[in-house]
Structure 1
Amino acid sequence: MTRKTLPVALIQEKAIIDQGRGNAEANLSIIEARVAEAAARGARLVLLQELHNGAYFCQHESVAEFDLAEPIPGPSTERLGKLAKRHGVVLVSSLFERRAPGLYHNTAVVFEKDGSTLGKYRKMHIPDDPGFYEKFYFTPGDLGFKPIDTSVGRLGVLVCWDQWYPEAARLMALAGAELLLYPTAIGWDPSDEQAEKNRQRDAWILSHRGHAVANGLPVLSCNRVGHEPSPLASDKHAGAAGIQFWGNSHVLGPQGEFIAEAGGDAEILSAEIDLDRSEHVRRIWPFLRDRRIDAYGDLLKRYID
């Protein structure tokens, strides 16, 4: 290994669903087994997928789903912290946070290898599309784009829909992030034509490659797999066919190159990242040096009329 080679693992899983709802106990048990296996392979950083405790419940709008939320710290953070300590890994999780009555967030939590909680990131960009009704559940994050310092490096943790916004990746990079991480839940409508499915998946991967190139940083994205039926299946409108999560979790280098890529099935994706490469790449492609920060004021506008 080079001086700063970092072994990582992404846990790409199919959610266990019980009577249409997520089974947190069953899913956390699987996560425990997968993290143990990842650590046995040598991983020092493990990334989990978005909302890994259960089904992707945002396919419909139902106040009953708020019962799935929990405080941070809470039962899941206690269990995940112990898991990180047991295997000596830095662990990045994704939880449905109950901050206060009527106030909920989509929150990533980072645990140190000693089990302590190092920080959290609340998802900033919240979608509202057929099958992805997240605005009903999640308040946009208010913690900003601040990397979290860990024993394996400074992590720029973002969540799913954030991946389409170059501003988010850039702000994490400007704050000193050494890696960009995206817990993700993205898939296609099974009724779409294959060509459309391919375009969507390819655009998703391309967005991450762009973030890697533009910022000279490795990017890790961990997605769900498997078909999850919609609670609206009896209706005849967009999203009623459920979501086929396409997997394809990946680890990219600072020039957008593939270090590792998963397929469409559950698996542990292992890779080694050479953190020294970011310094080298930024010397030959000095994008941060050449930014015209004096000319970007209009980025604060919604639209330039």
Structure 2
Amino acid sequence: MPRIVTVAAAQLGPIQKAHSRRQVIDRMIALMEQAKAQGATFIVYPELALTTFFPRWYSEDRAEADQWFEHSMPGPETQPLFDKAKALGMAMSFGYAELTPEGRHFNSSILVDRGGRIVGKYRKIHLPGHVEFDPERAHQHLEKRYFEPGDLGFPVWEFEGGLMGMAICNDRRWPETYRVMGLQGVEMVVLGYNTPSANSQSKNETAADRLFHHRLSVQAGAYQNSTWVVAVAKAGTEDGHHLFGGTLIAAPDGKIVGEVQHEEDGVLVHPCDLDDTRFGKATIFDFIRHRRVEHYGLITERTGVGAPLGKPEGA
């Protein structure tokens, strides 16, 4: 019997600074209802789904940014989303800014089962950007100022009849993200992102270039670990700053099976057979037969480029 997870990639259009949590939750509920009507049982929303992408704004007082963070999950403003998911029997995943009781700040995402219970949490590990205001940049990208690197690793959960993992935005560009989950047998990776259309440090990189790199990263991660990948954007122009879309679902063979062609709220629904992951995992990416970990030491020994290991022949 096939193991079908009918997933809805729920792209959000722009969220402005002036938009309230209630307005955003109403939009998310509307997308959930659309997804349910199309037969979906699992809905995936973007990174920082509840707010604008606030790391583009510099605050000298770091605490001023706490207005964008959730102190509890669910909380009074997000409880209606959990209630609707439970009422519809819909599993979900979404990203948000997490402020812990100890005062720690993370860029997080969660897995919520059909009963409305949080069963998994991930905290973004590969934080891009910078800490202090940079006048040389076309726009600011201050994730390193407002978040700590995640401290939960890349776990995989038994969820919706398969093995599920999470990643967030810049994580998708790092092959280690997928491989750590791949070594746990992951069958679906869900990730949300808010990606600017312009590279703040390069005038030569176009929006088309950035979409190419987005697809390349997701498709490679899917193929090289024989897993489904559901990549979901927040898109459009937020307070004058453009985020590209490109919400897509990639199959375990790396092929894109669906992609959203606009930058507004919308759902992409696809039945994903988790058994489609088995062929790749049993053949070219049968890790236990083919990996040679004795030669991979530099991956964990170095964080940056160091001296080459090769020596001249005969030396």
User: Same fold judged by TM-score > 0.5?
Assistant: yes
Q: Deviations over 1:177-224 (max 9, x none)?
A: 210111111131399879722111101110111101110111110011
Assess if the C-alpha contact under 8 Å between 1:93 and 1:108 holds in 2. Answer: yes
- Greater shift after overlay, 203-212 or 64-73? 64-73
Give the Cα separation in 2 of the matches to 1:68 and 1:265: 23
CA contact (8 A) 2:198 2:206 kept: no
Q: Distance in 2 between matches of 1:194 and 1:136?
A: 26
Equivalent residue letter for 1:110: L
Residue of structure 1 in register with 2:281 after alignment? 282
1:296 maps to 2:296: yes
Selected match of 1:59 from 56, 61, 65: 56
What's the offset of the Cα at 1:114? Answer: 0.8
1:173 aligns with 2:182: yes
**2: CA distance, partners of 1:257 / 1:31:** 28
Letter in 1 for 2:258: A
Moved more, 189-198 or 50-59: 189-198
Which residue in the other structure is 1:39 paired with? 36
Aligned residue among 132, 144, 153 for 1:135? 144
Structure 1 residue 226 displacement after superposition: 0.9
In terms of fraction of residues, the more strand-rich structure is 1
- Name the TM-score, length of structure 1 as normaliser: 0.89
SS of the equivalent of 2:291 reads coil
| Counterpart residue number, 1:149 | 158
Counterpart-to-counterpart distance in 2, 1:145 and 1:253 = 20
Percent identity, please: 25
| Alignment deviations for residues 55-90 of structure 1 (CA, whole Å, 9 cap, x no partner) | 111102223221221223341553332232111111
1:238 corresponding residue in structure 2? none
The match for 2:73 is 73
Q: 1:3 corresponds to which residue?
A: 2
Q: Give SS of 2:191's match.
A: strand
Does the CA contact (< 8 Å) of 2:220 and 2:254 recur in 1?
yes
Residues paired across the two proteins, number: 290
Q: Is residue 199 from structure 1 mapped to residue 197 from structure 2 by the alignment?
A: no
* Structure 1 CA distance for aligned equivalents of residues 218 and 151 of structure 2: 23
Residue 222 of structure 1 corresponds to: 232
Distance in 2 between the 1:295 and 1:244 partners? 42
Q: 1:228 to 1:261 in 2, by over 3 A?
A: same
- For 1:226, give the aligned amino acid: G
Q: Which residue of 2 aligns with 1:49?
A: 46
Letter of the 2:211 partner, please give it.
R
Q: CA deviation at 1:287?
A: 4.7
* Equivalent residue for 2:251, pick from 247, 250, 253: 253
Distance 1:77-1:157 versus aligned 2 partners, 3 A rule: farther
Larger Rg belongs to: 2
CA contact (8 A) 1:105 1:122 kept: yes
Q: Mind listing any 5+ residue stretches in structure 2 that lack a counterpart? A: 131-138, 308-315
> Could you tell me how far apart the structure 1 residues matched to 2:41 and 2:215 are?
24
Match of 1:210, as an amino acid?
A
CA distance in 2, matches of 1:200, 1:54: 23
Give the TM-score taking structure 2 as reference length.
Answer: 0.86
The one-letter code sitting in structure 2 at the alignment partner of 1:182 is L
Deviations 1:138-169 (A, max 9, x none): 11111111012223422110111111111011
CA contact (8 A) 1:43 1:270 kept: yes
Secondary structure of 1:187's counterpart equals coil
Quick one: distance in 1 between partners of 2:104 and 2:19?
21
Q: CA RMSD in A?
A: 2.0
Distance 2:157 2:70 in 1: 22
Tell me the distance in 2 between the aligned counterparts of 1:132 and 1:287. 39
Q: Which moved more, 1:5-14 or 1:61-70?
A: 61-70
Which structure 1 residue ranges, 5 or more long, are not aligned? 230-241
CA contact 1:188–1:246 (8 Å) conserved in 2: yes
Q: Which moved more, 1:66-75 or 1:5-14?
A: 66-75
Q: Is this contact kept in 1: 2:112–2:120, CA < 8 A?
A: yes
What SS does the corresponding residue of 2:100 show, helix, strand or coil? Answer: strand
Letter in structure 1 aligned against 2:226:
G
Choose from 20, 23, 26 the match for 1:23.
Answer: 20
Name the CA distance, whole Å, in 2 between partners of 1:73 and 1:201.
32
Distance 2:69 2:18 in 1: 13
1:101 Cα offset (Å): 5.5
Give the CA deviation at 1:131: 3.1
Structure 1 counterpart of 2:48, one-letter code: L
